[in-house]
Structure 1
Amino acid sequence: MDRTTGGRCDVGRTLGVHDIVAEAVLVAGGGRAILLQIAHPAVGRGVVDHSDFAADPLGRLRSTLTFVYATVYGSPDEVAAVQRAVNRAHAPVRAASPSGDGPAYNAFDPQLQLWVAATLYDSAVTTYEGVFGPLDSESADRIYSEYSVLGTVLQVPPGLWPADRGAFAAYWAATLPTLKVTPGTRAVAQQVLHGRNLPLWLRSVMPLGRLATAGLLPVPLRVEFGLPWNRRRQRRFDRLMRLTAVVYPHLPGWLRHRPRDLLLRRLRRSITASRSARS
């Protein structure tokens, strides 16, 4: 399958993180990333105890996308602004297990930040390849290397990011069996996937979002989260991915990159307003 970026055919060109992150279709992998994150016992406990997922899921999505877009495409000032926002959000999220038998949670723990960054990377690439086809080895290596910047902004020490895709695959394979879904994280997942506090227009597409999330998740986690699945749903998921792969790459670049452009514009206005308020 031909890969396209900004309406141009990119066959034969080595792609980088700048070429894929702007694609709006990657938002379809957001639910997968969130569920992978909260399935980590310590992250899940922090989310259940402190998160505003249920209260403001759209705000959470905007914040995550703004963080990713600014980290990849933003100026140093914009990267600093999203880093400060992440740190403010994480500052109060520290807790020890009250019973002593569960994982403590500190939002600044580099190992937990590594897992969050890893889920963003793996979900983006999984979704991208599901639509555009497999990346060639050079593009895959370059994108992986460049994705480490997300971890760095999340305060993951550079040496903690696995050195290459092989090392990442080993880290991923070793971490997946340690994931555990609890009643609390299962409830959070239901709140995220059903989006009762979302605008009506967004709620109308949530059935497709739930289908994509369940279809993209590793099967054991899909089962643990209690997401319904059968042959009929598998066929619907396969049709959805085939249709997206046919239609989406031929959409104009301005439309495919619209979320990035809107959220970066909003971030820049916020930074300008903040500077004006201080002067």
Structure 2
Amino acid sequence: MTAQPIESFQADPMPRTRRAELDEQQINDLTLLGPALLAGPANVIMQLTLPAVGYGVYESKVESGNLFKHPVKRTRTTLTYLAVAAMGDAELRRKYRHAVNKSHAHVRSSSSSPVKYNAFDAKLQLWVAACLYRGWEDMIRLYGDPSVITEEAYRQGAIMGTTLQMPPEMWPATRADFEVYWNETVASMELDDVIRSYLKSLVRLKFAAKPVSMIMGPWSELLTVGYLPPEFRDKLGVTQTPAQKRIFDAHNAVLRVGVRLMPAPMRKFPFNLLLADVRWRMRTGRPLV
């Protein structure tokens, strides 16, 4: 199959930090958190293009987290993790990590799996965090102010991995190091027919009720293909037609104006609502995931 991420990448490590200190860290720029939701499916495709991550999701025995069986619950859990990682406090991150760990304990390859994987593998969590950070950069370039893409903002991106098990010293030290890691990892990845077919079904919303997938599937495909970087389109075997590009560009032009006019709470929706929900679940003793 393919090489795992960071096998050949080497960078000066970031200083070792205690887990409690990591949980205290905050992300400063959350202005495009809500609009970034539109690019969520494309980001998931990027994450699952790494075979060990793709098969970890495809073969997962955690039924409650199966997107095709429980689409609403799985979507809520994923988005809530992002809300907790980006906006949560130390206690919330600690408790949500503990809840996620219980599910992740069951996500490991079997003797028949085409690739080896383990949800606790920090290298895989690094890749997922890297995709989330790269997605943030892409959204800033599309709809925001590129001057906010700084080394400080980049370092804060590590929180998407350190909220789980990724140690901070695994995060490439600088944005230049990140580019080396990213390019090497993307170049090493190859999709097989099983995961390629699975990812295409996600793009077309095959996990949703049939009326929803029939009506919204084409729009989901248009946006997902638009947000996907070209190298991921090539691996997935999809192309952006001229008509799709015109519609996607028009959509971006409208959204760019809308983001500037949008009040701050709306820019964070639905993540601010999900954060309130998980805090309510903590208070009332309900499951967090």
- TM-score between the two structures when normalised by the length of structure 2: 0.80
1:197-247 CA-partner distances (Å, limit 9, x unpaired)? 447997555544322221121223213323342222122221211121122
Residue correspondence of structure 1 range 187-206 to structure 2 within 5 A: 187-198=197-208, 205-206=216-217
Of residues 146, 154, 161, the one that matches 2:164 is 154
**Which of the pair is proportionally richer in helix?**
1
Of residues 133, 136, 143, the one that matches 1:131 is 143
Secondary structure of residue in 1 paired with 2:147: coil
Q: Per the alignment, do residues 106 and 174 of structure 1 end up closer, same or farther by CA in structure 2, a change over 3 Å counting?
A: same
**1:238 and 2:249 are equivalent in the alignment:** yes
2:261 equivalent in structure 1: 250
**1:222 and 2:236 are equivalent in the alignment:** no
Is this contact kept in 2: 1:40–1:179, CA < 8 A? yes
Q: Which 4+ runs in 1 deviate beyond 4 A?
A: 199-206
**1:141 and 2:159 are equivalent in the alignment:** no
- What is the Cα deviation at residue 36 of structure 1? 1.1
1:101-150 CA-partner distances (Å, limit 9, x unpaired)? x42111111111110111111112212321114234xx422211112122
Of residues 97, 102, 124, the one that matches 1:83 is 97
1:19 equivalent in structure 2: 29
Q: Per the alignment, do residues 24 and 205 of structure 1 end up closer, same or farther by CA in structure 2, a change over 3 Å counting?
A: farther
Residue correspondence of structure 1 range 1-12 to structure 2 within 5 A: none
1:112 equivalent in structure 2: 124
| Worse-matched range after superposition: 64-73 or 115-124 | 64-73
Is this contact kept in 1: 2:54–2:195, CA < 8 A? yes
Aligned equivalents of 1:200, 1:82: Cα separation in 2: 32
Q: Per the alignment, do residues 207 and 134 of structure 1 end up closer, same or farther by CA in structure 2, a change over 3 Å counting?
A: farther
| Worse-matched range after superposition: 118-127 or 90-99 | 90-99
| Worse-matched range after superposition: 34-43 or 225-234 | 225-234
| Worse-matched range after superposition: 204-213 or 146-155 | 204-213
Is this contact kept in 2: 1:46–1:94, CA < 8 A? yes
Q: Per the alignment, do residues 201 and 161 of structure 1 end up closer, same or farther by CA in structure 2, a change over 3 Å counting?
A: farther
Q: Per the alignment, do residues 212 and 135 of structure 1 end up closer, same or farther by CA in structure 2, a change over 3 Å counting?
A: farther
User: Counterpart of 2:237 in structure 1: which amino acid?
Assistant: G
2:276 equivalent in structure 1: 265
Q: Per the alignment, do residues 140 and 28 of structure 1 end up closer, same or farther by CA in structure 2, a change over 3 Å counting?
A: farther
User: Counterpart of 1:128 in structure 2: which amino acid?
Assistant: I
Q: Percent identity?
A: 30
User: Counterpart of 1:174 in structure 2: which amino acid?
Assistant: E
Aligned equivalents of 1:202, 1:274: Cα separation in 2: 33
Unaligned runs of 5+ in 1: 1-15
- TM-score between the two structures when normalised by the length of structure 1: 0.83
1:94 equivalent in structure 2: 108
Q: Per the alignment, do residues 80 and 47 of structure 1 end up closer, same or farther by CA in structure 2, a change over 3 Å counting?
A: same
1:274 equivalent in structure 2: 285
Is this contact kept in 1: 2:80–2:274, CA < 8 A? yes
Unaligned runs of 5+ in 2: 1-25
1:213 equivalent in structure 2: 224
Q: Per the alignment, do residues 97 and 104 of structure 1 end up closer, same or farther by CA in structure 2, a change over 3 Å counting?
A: farther
Query: How large is the RMSD of aligned CA atoms in angstroms?
Result: 2.4
Aligned equivalents of 2:153, 2:87: Cα separation in 1: 14
- What is the Cα deviation at residue 162 of structure 1? 0.4
Aligned equivalents of 1:251, 1:199: Cα separation in 2: 31
Q: Per the alignment, do residues 208 and 223 of structure 1 end up closer, same or farther by CA in structure 2, a change over 3 Å counting?
A: same
Secondary structure of residue in 2 paired with 1:94: coil
Q: Per the alignment, do residues 97 and 168 of structure 1 end up closer, same or farther by CA in structure 2, a change over 3 Å counting?
A: farther
| Worse-matched range after superposition: 209-218 or 23-32 | 209-218
